[in-house]
Amino acid sequence: MSVRKISIIGSGRLGSFTGYEIVYRELAKEVVLIDIIQNLPQGEAMDLNQMASEKGKSVLVKGSNDYKDISDSDIVVITAGFARKPGMTRLDLLKQNAPIVRDVALQIAKYAPNSIVITVTNPMDVMTYITYKITGFPKERVIGMGGQLDSARYREILANIFNVSRNSVKALVIGEHGENMLPLARFSYVGGIRVSDLLSLEKIKEAEEATRKIAAEVIALKGATVFAPVSCIASLIEAIVKDTKEIIPVSAYLNGEYGLNDLCIGVPAVIGKKGIEKIFELNLNEEEKLRFYKGAEIIKNAINELRQLAII
């Protein structure tokens, strides 16, 4: 995919550092940072252009407060919204961020109707659903970034448990991006061996719980998670730009897959130049299904609440 332009909605830490990664990896010819705060995206753009100059990168960065500047974007990343604060769940953010993402999606549909959209704003699965519904884009062109990040965290936990290189670990987390995420020991591997064959059930549960808690621990220590999600966003963009056909767990709109309809939830998918090119349906056991569907129910309830509020 020949990508000329990538736009990022939201110029806070996630948005600006995503811009940095795009420039550093040279994933587009132009990056546009959008924010409602006057001067913020312009300042970030100046800083990033100076970095690009030092590194000899040819990517140009523009900062703007006008959505018209995202016109003809190939990819749009949504990071705008309130950050999760200590003690908050992702679903606590629902009423705060839903109207913001709704308005952003309307602007994307207007100015970048052919783009692939990556939604990062939390609660991510619900925000991805809003993006899909409001833009009216084909489902393959609306992607939520979450399971990829949860899988990276699970990988870190497992690497520490076994005291091995991270490169020896393949970890998979699907389901809701939040408290009901589903780390899959049966589909995660250390040196090619299933984690479920290496750890006791008790140790598996401990690893899963550590994976659920790790984001909140980072937030409690420094106020926000930044570097890990930014790296995931950039890798997702790179898979699209370079058409790598990587299997990445992302939040996708389901239409019958896993027996679910009309919601977005984390599933393994092939990512390429068209966005989500294929969804893989795992053969989950009964316990895994129950936990997966519990996360789906949480997302469905949130969607229904938004309908009652007439947000979607």
The tens digit of pLDDT for each residue in 280-305 reads 999 999 999 999 999 999 999 999 99
Distance CA 138, CA 199 (A): 41
List the domains of the chain with CATH numbers: 5-144 (3.40.50.720)
Mean pLDDT over 72-78 rounds to 98
User: Can you tell me which residue has the tokens 């990033």?
Assistant: 48
| E-state strands within 18-103 | 30-34, 60-64, 75-78
Distance CA 182, CA 160 (A): 19
| E-state strands within 157-306 | 169-170, 173-175, 181-183, 189-190, 193-194, 246-255, 261-272, 275-279
Annotated catalytic residues are: 177
A 10 A CB-CB count for 287 gives: 9
Distance CA 260, CA 159 (A): 33
Given a cut of 90, is residue 215 above it in pLDDT? yes
pTM: 0.96
Torsional class of 120: left (φ above 0), alpha (ψ -120 to 50), beta (otherwise): alpha
- Which tokens hold the place of 81? 């919204």
Query: Cβ distance 110 to 67 under 8 Å?
Result: yes
The tens digit of pLDDT for each residue in 231-265 reads 999 999 999 999 999 999 999 999 999 999 999 99
Nearest 5°: CA angle at 249, between 247 and 251? Answer: 130
